[in-house]
Chain A
């Protein structure tokens, strides 16, 4: 039901998105800014980076509105942009931080203090799950976040990641197995 509603809403938004119309874009932003931010946050584990990537995602989306031809694919389209932007960010940071300052496994704010967003998400359980997530390979992490947090189907994940339905099922299974081990390390599952 949720998926149907999301598709319906996405269609409504998409109907007016063939040109960079500000009002339509505002509606896209209003509907998706929080989900995209959370998706990216779970991907990179750092609120400041997540904010930067979310910002870039919507700027790129605005500039690429003309490329959105399928009115049903607004959500997948946005997540794909967010994914690519996040991956670019990870690659770039690896390039400029050869000593591992930006080690994805130990996300920290530059000053070492938790920011307001980090304080909000610093519930013990969330923190341990996030730590386990960050142990996953990026494509596993992406797959599992899209499935379990964003509640996407294998087909939708395939649209975002550019993979076939079968490839997503295989990837998701491997990701779950890997995640299970890391959750066990965190003491969250047996």
Chain B
């Protein structure tokens, strides 16, 4: 194989990049390149082009892909003309498209069926069950749709919710598919309902907390939804939302949480669950430590935060956990990469560029639990730069229309949506009402919903509509859809008539509207059997 002098063979150069040349061809090319600046330049350009393309990031497919494929196999694929995204596009084009016949045909389909009703295979499968999850219908248990609700919007429906339901003598805890109420997994059944849950960012693990009957403790669990593996993470005394955080690292490897010593007086400490080997390890042995949220530094990489409850709380950003000797003791905190004085339980949003945290003095409500704040308030900071501690100094009170004094917030439950939205509920206010008319404000029975991009933070008007929570019910948990479209899945509990009754709750999927437009009840997730349905989780 030879290359004629003066003949520039780009095809050989291209093929050389992928090892597709014979030895003779490669030798000929090498000889030619030694004398030909033009071909060397071509080789460099092709190699650079190949380097750029091969360096493009691999993007994970949608988490629900497995469920969509399974649904397609079992029920037939959704015809392309019924797909939501395409319908929107076609709908937009119809205004100007003059091909009337085609338009009429397609429009006919639009008007006959909702864009994404719960009956559409693709619509229902747009929330994520893993392909390996064994979906099976639960006889007598179906989703009770809102009788007057609007058409279901797929992104509004949480992919999973927990159900603690059944006859009183055989109550079972299960993971349900949010789109159709079918049972995906049966879980070890505790003696009380689930009160909090969090889905790992990769959608594989579901962490949740269940109450333990009348004992006054909570059990912590994690389940690999795909493999059906369940891990018991520990038991803690109950009684404070500060104890009930379930914080996943950005890569989905670690779960950080807090356990209070319910048998002795060891206080509270942070614990770590490693999904890679399903190990549970005590992260701190400090007696007053609480888990806080991970701060995302870059895609898939995050750092752990913990807080120490004290008269003057302090929070620490920990270095790489793989390099630490656990459990951490006081002297180990010198290794912290950031120390934030006066800050308790920082709750970072998903991108790690905004956070909500607490200021105030932590007070002991029992001998073992520094579970409440004196003169406390949550604060928020929007654009956190490279120096988190400095940014915290610039934080503003989360409730911008209340006066923080010695009697202020003692606690509240807080959650983030995807990037911008957040919600506060169960706000325990020990001061005088801050409303102009003397009504309860902040009100522990209301949900306050706002966005980082809203400079007002939270004001009284940010409360969700009263009608969002049925009379007599209370808010047990709140989850916000990850897209910035203001959907919330609220678990509302109904007080039980006696201690032995099966607890009752339902998940209400709400579309938050503003101004004079009332919030909309999109869907109610509950079953025909008595039971506790919720909490729900979003990706």
Q: Which residues on B sit within 8 Å (CB–CB) of A111?
A: 88
Residue B102 CB within 8 A of the other chain: yes
Partner of B106 from the list A30, A33, A54, A96 (CB cut-off 8 Å) is A96
Bound-state CA distance A111–B92 (Å) is: 10
**Chain A 22-39 against B: per-residue CB contact (8 Å), 1 yes, 0 no?**
000010011001110110
Among A92, A101, A177, A179, contact of B92 (Cβ-Cβ < 8 Å): A101
Q: Does A55 contact B68, Cβ atoms closer than 8 Å?
A: yes
Q: How far is the CA of A30 from the CA of B131 in the complex (A)?
A: 9
User: Knowing A54-B65, A190-B45 touch, does A98 contact B99 (C-beta < 8 A)?
Assistant: yes
Contact A96 B49 (CB under 8 A): no
Closest beta carbon of chain A to B537's beta carbon, Å: 16
Contact A55 B15 (CB under 8 A): no
Task: Digitize A124-166: 1 where CB-to-B-CB distance is under 8 Å, 0 elsewhere.
Answer: 0110011001000000000011011101011100000000010
Q: Is the CB of A180 within 8 A of B49?
A: yes
- Residues from chain A with a CB closer than 8 A to the CB of B60 are 34, 37, 120
Please name the residue on chain B nearest to A182 by beta carbon: B49
A64 at the B interface (CB under 8 A): no
Q: How large is the interface on A (under 10, 10 to 19, 20 to 34, 35 or more residues)?
A: 35 or more
B61:A33 contact, CB within 8 angstroms: yes
A39 and B54 CA atoms in complex are apart in Å by 12
What does the 1/0 interface line of B84-112 toward A look like (CB < 8 Å)?
01101110110011010010001000000
Among A58, A99, A147, A190, contact of B93 (Cβ-Cβ < 8 Å): A99
A99-B97 in contact (CB<8A): yes
Complex Cα distance A177/B96, Å?
A: 38
CA distance A129 to B18 in the complex (A): 20
Q: How many Å lie between the Cα of A143 and that of B369 in the bound state? A: 63
Complexed CA–CA distance, A29 and B69 (Å)? 9
- Residues of B near A29 (CB, < 8 A) are 66, 69, 131
B interface, over-half SS? helix
CB-contacts of B8-42 with A (<8 A): 10-11, 13-15, 18-20
Q: Bound state CA distance, A165 and B19, in angstroms?
A: 13
* One of A4-12, A74-82, A168-176 at the interface: A168-176
- The digit string for B428-464, where 1 denotes a CB below 8 A from any CB of A, is 0000000000000000000000000000000000000
How distant is the Cα of A125 from the Cα of B56 in the complex, in angstroms?
8
Select one of A26, A37, A109, A151 contacting B59, CB under 8 A. Answer: A37
Main secondary structure of the interface of A (DSSP, over half): helix
A92 to B89, CA, bound (A): 13
Can you add 20 more A-B contacts, CB < 8 Å, to A151-B18, A179-B53? A26-B131, A33-B65, A34-B61, A37-B65, A41-B59, A48-B85, A54-B61, A55-B65, A55-B122, A62-B69, A89-B80, A96-B90, A96-B93, A99-B93, A110-B85, A116-B482, A130-B56, A149-B53, A153-B18, A154-B15
What 4 pairs between A and B have smallest CB-CB spacing? A37-B61, A110-B88, A148-B53, A173-B14
**B-to-A contact residues, CB < 8 Å:** 10-11, 13-15, 18-20, 45-46, 48-50, 52-62, 65-66, 68-69, 72-73, 77, 80, 83, 85-86, 88-90, 92-93, 96-97, 99, 102, 106, 122, 131-132, 299, 418, 482-483
Give 24 CB contacts A-B under 8 Å: A26-B132, A37-B61, A37-B65, A41-B59, A51-B61, A51-B62, A55-B68, A56-B77, A59-B77, A62-B69, A92-B80, A101-B92, A110-B92, A120-B57, A125-B52, A144-B53, A147-B18, A153-B18, A169-B15, A169-B20, A176-B10, A183-B49, A188-B52, A189-B49
